Homo-oligomer: A and B are copies of this chain.
């Protein structure tokens, strides 16, 4: 039992790293086995197929990183504070997982039905709570009339897109990884100000 979890985890860790770096198609089962230092057939023994291993990893990956973000959206924080916290935590998470966005976009466009059929996908987008909060704020005259769906999408775009084109940004600006991180952290305030400015009645 102890050893069982051990090799299973070794497979998971190695495969996760490879899938994130090179994508599903460019990662061979033999490479996973080699990196995990296990026999090739153990992958099938523990996960039945490469495809099922991949699904497991998607769920773990998105689950671990996105649940806390959804909780923020669904909390009862004041709108300003909620947006500020959401931006900050989302960016912190992506700094720790800089390959996640490109990975999700790749999976989404390669096999939309599969990704969208997973429960974890709910954590990736807007929630009813947040939409209703925006509507209520407008009804109380606190913010100007907006489309909540569009507003959330704007926020999400500003937060996540830079990570999808990190290589271009670094190349065009001659950024090191450190420079990129600083550039991204600067965005916390910029994005917040931009959204707040737009919400003003």
Contacts and interface: CB of A to CB of B under 8 A. Distances in A.
A5 B188 CA distance: 52
A153 B164 CA distance: 12
A173 B154 CA distance: 15
A110 B44 CA distance: 26
Copies in the complex: 2
Interface in A78-137: 99, 102, 105-106, 108-110, 112, 115-116, 121, 124-126
State which size class the interface on A falls in: 35 or more
Contacts of A164: 105, 108-109, 161, 164
A9 interface: no
A156 interface: yes
Interface of A: 22-23, 25-26, 99, 102, 105-106, 108-110, 112, 115-116, 121, 124-126, 147, 149-150, 153-154, 156-158, 160-162, 164-165, 167-169, 171-173, 183, 186-187, 190-191, 193-194, 197-198, 200
